[in-house]
Chain A
Amino acid sequence: MIRRILTEGVDEFDMTRLDVYRARGGYEGLTKALKTMSPDDVFNEVKTSGLRGRGGAGVAASFKWGTLPNDGRPRYLILNGDESEPGSFSGRMLIQKNPHMIIEGALLSAYACKMAKVFIYLRGEFYEGAEIMTRAVEEARAAGFIGDHILGTDFSQEIVVHRGAGAYICGEETAIMESLEGRRGHPRNKPPFPTAAGLYGMPTVINNVETIANVAPIVAHGGSWFAAIGPEKSPGTKICSVSGRVRRPGNYEIEMGTPLRELIEEHAGGLEPGHPLKFILPAGASSALIQPKNLDVSLDYDSLGAIRSMLGSAGMLVCDDRDCAVHVAYLGARFYHHESCGKCTPCREGTGWTERVLHRMEYGEGRTGDTKRLDELCRGIGGRKCLCLLGDFSVTYLQSALANFRDEFEAHEHGGPCPVTAALEVSVR
């Protein structure tokens, strides 16, 4: 079911304005926390809430926060707003429509973890989002919510809005730190994990903007209130981005545990008329496809994991019988080849090789054995051979498509037009 916590009021009111956000209860959680709660109290509310990371991995926020060493070094919080996964656009909406909830959540998280500074990293293409967020930060500063001695207390906090400049990889948590340090967005080896040695070598927490936004209502209403929403192990809501072959593409904030069928058929209006569902990529281009027979799966981390897919960022790309499994694989491969940062060989070489094989299959020059060649490429690239997971992500859908639509791939081995679709090529690199 639809449950609006993060998107409450955003369609009816201009929540980008501080006065509107405050009139609807905004910054009350921060005020309560600074006046009546210790940083540990705030941490414990978040721990009680069971909030898990919304960026994709689903790690409990309090687990990450709890691994920060207590050694007196400055700590940094980075809000990841580098949303670039094809199919995901919930962050864009949240940044543009509810920036103050993100800011309030960031201040509360910084208070709980005693951060020296907060960075909000927004992808470069979010021109409007960066303007809105910068304006919101300035408005909050003018009202005394950011800066020195916030609300007359001893708590001081700075927030810096930092823009990227076009690189998918900077959404990766170690690449985002390299980028913030003013370098190419190349991932780092782990360990050390960012909480031990992150930005400038200091303890650092990187959380998605949606994760951090949740902290504001959690502190305002209490961790146990949040923990009671949805399934026990995936509490809260998730903003699902639905795109592709549905009648009403868009963002829908649902209670965790809502059936995928309800999201697609009711909220997104069902599929476009005349074409049956073929498959869904539930977490953008990086996820294993879901077959129509699994449409009743619950939308939460564990249920999707149980059918060997993932909730991830919940960027749901819906495909019908007009969509060729090979064409979709080619579009994904082209994306990953373009976005591979070039640091690790399996990803750098493998994504390009995969794109070339899929391109020739889709555009009439497939060769006998290409399907098996793709199997080998998946084995060569996947399996955590690289510093980050981009390479693994690049073969996740492909492997699931090879398993579920193998006949379609094999039908592309003999040349001639695509047997499923005559899609036009967008071939500029």
Chain B
Amino acid sequence: MSWDARAADAVIAKYPSSRSAILPLLWLGQNSDGHITPETVEHVAERLGLTINDVESVLSFYTMFRRTPAARCRLQVCRSLACAMKGAGEILEHIRAATGVAAGEQSPDGGFSVEVVECIAACDHAPAYLFNERMDGPLSPEQALRLIRGEGKGEDAK
């Protein structure tokens, strides 16, 4: 747990109303701890003069905040229109058949997780994906396996 009070103050100072800093402060917490801890929620509530429930109600609306530690390799495959048309479903099925880990699950050792996300505005790279924080595509089934096994960027040999 590393709540950076000074960084939090700098964020709050940017806004005409301190409550606007909820999302940036939650991002601060998630970036430093890997996920949103109960302590982060308490700090945000206390600093902004809100109740825990106020913060929780905002937090629970936004899908990018995690309540549990993230896997080391997080693969998020876009499942929206262009990506589904270009084989996102086949990639997820390939991963499940090869590793036993289905979309929405984490490997038992916590090494990787596979998630589906809605459109990430990368339809020109369909099937697109986010690997940790990097957006890219098109993803092939083989590259997906290399990514979750931690083999670099998993790019196909050229």
Contact = CB atoms under 8 A, between A and B. Distances in A.
A249 to B, nearest CB: 4
A241 interface: yes
B14 A245 contact: no
Given A124-B64, A331-B80, A428-B103, A317 B123 contact: yes
A25 to B, nearest CB: 28
A220 interface: no
B130 interface: yes
Contacts of A184: 57-58, 61
A181 B21 CA distance: 8
Contacts of A331: 79-81, 84-85
Interface stretch (A45-53, A165-173, A375-383): A165-173
A181 B19 contact: yes
A426 interface: yes
Interface in A137-167: 158, 160, 162-167
Range class of the A interface residue count: 35 or more
B23 A165 contact: yes
Nearest to B102: A428
A87 B135 contact: no
Nearest to A83: B121
A91 interface: yes
Residue in B26, B93, B118 whose Cβ sees the most chain A Cβ within 10 Å: B118
B16 A86 contact: no
Nearest to A199: B16
Given A166-B62, A182-B22, A89 B122 contact: yes
A183 B120 CA distance: 22
A341 B61 CA distance: 8
Interface string B82-111: 101100111011000000001110000000
B119 interface: yes
B82 A317 contact: yes
A208 B99 CA distance: 42
B116 A84 contact: no
Interface in B34-82: 48, 57-58, 61-65, 79-82
A323 B89 CA distance: 14
Interface in A296-335: 315, 317, 319, 322-323, 328, 331-332, 334-335
Given A124-B62, A181-B19, A335 B82 contact: no
B123 A249 contact: yes
A249 B137 CA distance: 12
Contacts of B133: 127-128
Contact of B124 (A250, A338, A423): A250
Given A184-B58, A317-B81, A424-B90, A92 B122 contact: yes
B23 A162 contact: yes
A244 interface: yes
A165 B80 CA distance: 18
A428 B23 contact: no
Contacts of A127: 133-135
Contacts of B48: 182
Given A127-B135, A183-B58, A249 B124 contact: yes
Nearest to B55: A182
B89 A425 contact: yes
B24 interface: yes
Contact of B103 (A322, A323, A334, A426): A426
Given A166-B62, A184-B57, A317-B82, A87 B123 contact: yes
Contacts of B20: 162, 180-182
A182 B135 contact: no
Given A182-B20, A241-B124, A426-B79, A335 B118 contact: yes
A339 B118 contact: yes
Given A184-B61, A328-B81, A332-B81, A86 B119 contact: yes
B2 interface: no
B126 interface: yes
Nearest to B44: A182
Given A128-B135, A424-B93, A87 B64 contact: no
Nearest to B48: A182
Nearest to B105: A428
A123 B121 contact: yes
A125 B120 contact: yes
Contacts of B116: 426, 428
A181 B24 CA distance: 11
B3 interface: no
Contacts of B65: 165-166
A74 interface: yes
19 contacts: A83-B121, A87-B81, A89-B123, A92-B122, A127-B134, A160-B14, A162-B20, A165-B27, A165-B65, A166-B65, A182-B22, A241-B123, A243-B124, A285-B119, A319-B85, A335-B118, A341-B61, A426-B103, A428-B103
Interface of A: 74, 83-89, 91-92, 116-117, 123-128, 158, 160, 162-168, 179-185, 200, 241-245, 249-251, 281, 285, 315, 317, 319, 322-323, 328, 331-332, 334-335, 338-339, 341, 423-426, 428
Given A84-B121, A331-B84, 7 more contacts: A87-B82, A89-B122, A125-B120, A167-B62, A243-B124, A341-B61, A423-B84
